[in-house]
Every structure is written in C-alpha cells, then in structure tokens.
Amino acid sequence: MWCFRAFRAQGGLQDQDGAARDEPRAGGNGNSNDGNTARRAFRSPAEFAACTGVDQELIDRDGTVLQAVSCLHRLDIDALSAYCRRTAELYVERYSHHPMSTTLHKLLSHSAAVVESCHLPIGMMSEEAAEATHKRVRQYRLRHTRKDSRIHTMSDLLGYLLVASDPLLSSLALIKRVLLCTDSRSGLQLLSRGPDDQQSAIGQRVWGLIDALTAAGKDITLHWVPGHADLAGNEAADRLANQAAADCAQEEAPIDLSSARTAIRRWTSELASARAQRHPHREPTPSHDELDRWGQATLSQLRTGYCPLVRATAHRLGLVEDPTCRACGEEEEDVEHLLAGCPAHVGRAAAVQLTSVRFGS
C-alpha cells in the first residue's frame, strides 16, 4: 500500500528539504507533521508524489482544495463543489483498494457546504487570528480592565476580546483610515483627555476600541458634526440609539457614578424649568431692593401667603395655639384676611389696594 511506501520514503524527503517526518516531539506533544510540513509538501507536488508514491494530480487537486478553504475571498460554491466531487471520483478510480480517510472525506464531500454556511470568507473564520492576540490580551488586561475584582477584570477583558476577534471587524482589514463622526462635543472633550484619565466605563471602553483598531494598523480620526443637520449617518445613529433606548430595559443597565451625577443634574434642571413654566415668578415688588434683608424676606413671605408673622401660618408651624385674628377675632388670620378682609384694618387695606393699583402688581 502507498502509505507504507510513503513511510519508508520519509528519510529521502528529509534529505531533500531538511524537514523531519513523523518524528515525536519532546514531552509527548505530538509529532513533527505540523502545518508548515504540509505546506512545504503541497508546494512541491512532484517531489511529494515521488516520495510518497501518491498520484501527483491527486496531490495537486487536494492542495488546491486546501488553499480554497483557507482563502480570504469569496468563492464560487458551485465550482468548488464540482471540483471536490471530481477529486473524490479521481481518488476512487485510482485507489479503490484503500478506503478514503475521514479527514479527506470531510474535505472533499463537505467543504462546499461549510463555505456556503459562512457569512464571511471561510479563511476569516480561522483560529489563527485568535491565537495571535496574546500580546493584545496582555495590553487590554493591563490598561483597560478594572482591577477591583477578578469578575470585573475578566468581564472587561472578554468584552475587548469579543470586539477584537469579531469576524465582521476583521473583514475591514483592508481599510486603513477610519473617520468616526459624532455630534457630541462633550464626548469628544472627554476622550481628548487620553486613556489614562477616563473616569467613566464608557470612556474606557471607547478608548479600548480605539487601541484595538490602532493596534490593527488603523488610522483613527474623531470628527464633530452638527446634530439634526440632515446628515444621513448622524440621523441613522440617532434613530438606532432611540430604538435601543426604547427596546432595552434601562432599569437593569449598569451606569457609572459620573454618568449618574450628570443624569441627576440634568433631571433636576429640567424639573425646575418645567415648574417655572407652570408657576412663573411674579415681578419683584417696586422698591424691593431698598429694603433691608429682614424687610425683603417679610415682603416675600407676605406675597407667597406663608408668613410666620400672621397667626394662621404660625399655627401651622406650631408656634401659636389659636389662628384667630387678633384684631377682629372673627376669622382665621391669614395674609388675605389681614390685608383685605379684616374690618379692623379697613383703612389700611384701602391703602394697600391703592398701592397695588398704582404699581400694577
């Protein structure tokens, strides 16, 4: 059988290119038949066929299929399926006495289906990219993870790794310059402080993404654009942000202390503005600034109707037991009664009313 002839021919092939074949590695970690050995073998199909006794055409076709399933470009599924079918038929014609191995069967019978199921070129789904990110793992863990607990550290690290290893992001490998537009001036000012001065989790994550893209050879530029100016990209981003805010459970979304303080300040400011619109402040009383502080405070209390100098307010505050008017003894002594309804102060009330008409308040 050809496999025994191939085994006996190992020494000759090793003499030709200096590569060892089927030699055990130290420590029991497999043998010397690694990916580099296979690539060298298929690069020289004539020598490989001479050493192993396998048909050269079959070696050529198997090498072509292996290159196709590691390609970074889109493939013609029908052409790949027909090529693999013909290669399998060639194997059966020339080696019908030797059953096809499981690995070769998977390669020739199922490659087209696997390539068709991938939403990206199949070469981008390789594990080589993930295995080559050990340096980035150390960098992310050192610079862009929280160190207060192992859970936070690993959560942040896995978040960065998921972004860096995303096949859709890796499909942008040919893009060297990236322009990111935003209508948030405050966000740009926050990011301009640098990665080491980011207090919020959002700022740290954004800088982590920038570092990941920069490490991949991208030139990143952040640019401010005016909001609500009919810019297609900005309008699309606003629409997606509003949709996410409406669909996601905001009560369960984590928020850092700085963002919480900002949200509280914004909420209280909006609440005060809305209250001022519902209950607008009156114009200041004429000659208000000419009074001393005690007079200004007393005048403001009288205008609002809550003045501790009248018995009704003092009674609500627990300062007096009886809220009855001290002058007439008939009704509760509130500001309106004292200035306009008390019969004991009719003359003074007329003066107050005349003053009110004169100043238009």
Note the pLDDT of residue 202. Answer: 80
User: Which residue segments constitute the domains of the chain, with CATH numbers given?
Assistant: 2-126 (no CATH), 134-237 (3.30.420), 288-359 (no CATH)
**Across-strand partners of 223?**
181
Distance CA 66, CA 68 (A): 5
Note the pLDDT of residue 355. Answer: 42
- Extract the tokens encoding 177: 């310059």
Distance CA 305, CA 312 (A): 10
- CA-based angle 159:162:164, to the nearest 5? 110
Contacts of residue 104, defined as CB under 8 A and 6 or more positions apart, other chains included, come to: 62, 91
- 333 by Cβ neighbours in 10 Å (0-12 / 13-18 / 19+) ranks as buried
Distance CA 137, CA 165 (A): 11
Q: Are 62 and 87 in contact (CB under 8 A)?
A: yes
The full 3-state SS of the chain, as one line of letters, equals CHHHHHHHCHHHHHHHHCCCCCCECHHHCCECCCHHHHHHHHHCHHHHHHHHCCCHHHHHHHHHHHHHCCCCCCCCHHHHHHHHHHHHHHHHHHCCCCCCCHHHHHHHHHHHHHHHHCCCCHHHHCCHHHHCCHHHHHHHHHHCCCCCCHHHHHHHHHHHHHHHCCHHHHCCCCCCEEEEEECCHHHHHHHCCCHHHCCCHHHHHHHHHHHHHHHCCCEEEEEECCCCCCCHHHHHHHHHHHHHHHHCCHHHCCCCHHHHHHHHHHHHHHHHHHHHHHCCCCCCCCCHHHCCHHHHHHHHHHHHCCCCCCHHHHHHCCCCCCCECCCCCCCECCHHHHHHHCHHHHHHHHHHHHHHHHHCC
Distance CA 106, CA 55 (A): 20
Note the pLDDT of residue 72. Answer: 82
For the chain, which ranges sit under pLDDT 70? 1-36, 128-133, 164-165, 167-174, 248-254, 279-286, 346-361
- Extract the tokens encoding 349: 């009330």
**Across-strand partners of 24?**
31
Report pLDDT digits (tens) over 56-113.
Answer: 899 899 889 988 888 888 889 999 999 999 999 999 998 888 888 898 899 999 999 9
- CA-based angle 130:125:123, to the nearest 5? 115
- Extract the tokens encoding 267: 């909420």
Return the amino acid letter for 261. R
Note the pLDDT of residue 248. Answer: 67
Note the pLDDT of residue 280. Answer: 61
Q: Are 160 and 152 in contact (CB under 8 A)?
A: no
pTM of the model: 0.36
Note the pLDDT of residue 300. Answer: 82
